Amino acid sequence: MPHKINRIHAQMKAKHRFLQKKTCLRCGEQLLDLATPVVMGILNVTPDSFFAGSRASTADAVAAHVYRMLVEGAAIVDVGACSTRPGADEVSPTEELRRLCPALEVVRGKFPQVVVSVDTFRAEVVREVVAQFGAVIVNDISGGQRDEKMFETVARLSLPYVLMHTRGTPQTMQQLTDYGDLMGEVVRYLSEKLSALHGMGVCDVILDPGFGFAKTTGQNFELLSRMEEFDIFELPLLAGLSRKSMVCRTLNVTPAEALNGTTALNMLALAKGADILRVHDVKEAAEAVALAAAAGVAAAPQACS
């Protein structure tokens, strides 16, 4: 009987977990409504990102890729110019901006309504992007560890910030997977970083558990199975599971063959409280959101105001 009561309590808690969660973020003049989960589409302007389908190297390719993502249901376009796959070579800030700025010029010029996220760990890149193209969400895979000026830059420019858990760099992270208490250490890390961000006045923070970053396949699945525990922060939660190694290794498929597995994990993430799905395949993720909402597991009670 105690086990049954605990199970019922957990189900009730899960059903009402969004009641206090922040559901509206401001990005410059734009408001991002997370009352229902949204899709963040990936646009890579790199030659070496792990999934070729997300790459675009010309202005026409960028425009076509973004147009397709918006038609398929993306609310955010996440633009990256420096690959963060395991073992990826690092490029200079100059090269990152050389790739990034032409793509952002296309996105801002042709699709001014879309919320833009920039995947970078460099404060100088953020400053230059905002100076040229206006406010963006900063998607920093390093949690401020790679650039000590990142937090103060985000605070001064009043930008939304994706705070992700990781260890080391893309070159070293796969050797840094030794945890005594995985969930406890991830929560502690996020808590300490949030304290620093809030102390500087950063209000709009999105949490990312960092699937695939300094974690084994088993650890990734542990985080996924316990995602609802991040509700203690009452902040939006991003799940970046798209075509990652936890899918490929479990199913013995390549990234090109990992769409079905990705969709399955995205549905699990939605049931566990994800507010943003960061994906290569927008249509399938948007359909997962619609089905999860229809099933009553992915709708929040408050709208953006």
Name the residues annotated as catalytic: 244, 278
Beta-strand pair 30-33/24-27: antiparallel
- Tokens representing 193 are 């970083």
Please say whether the beta carbons of 7 and 287 come within 8 A.
Answer: no
Asked if 186 contacts 237 with a C-beta cutoff of 8 angstroms, the reply is: no
Query: What DSSP line would sit under 239-282, residue for residue?
Result: E--TT-HHHHHHHT--GGG-HHHHHHHHHHHHHTT-SEEEES-H
**Does residue 205 sit in helix, strand or coil?**
strand
Specify the pairing of strand 76-80 against strand 30-33: unpaired
Token pair belonging to 279: 């994906």
Q: Are 159 and 189 in contact (CB under 8 A)?
A: no
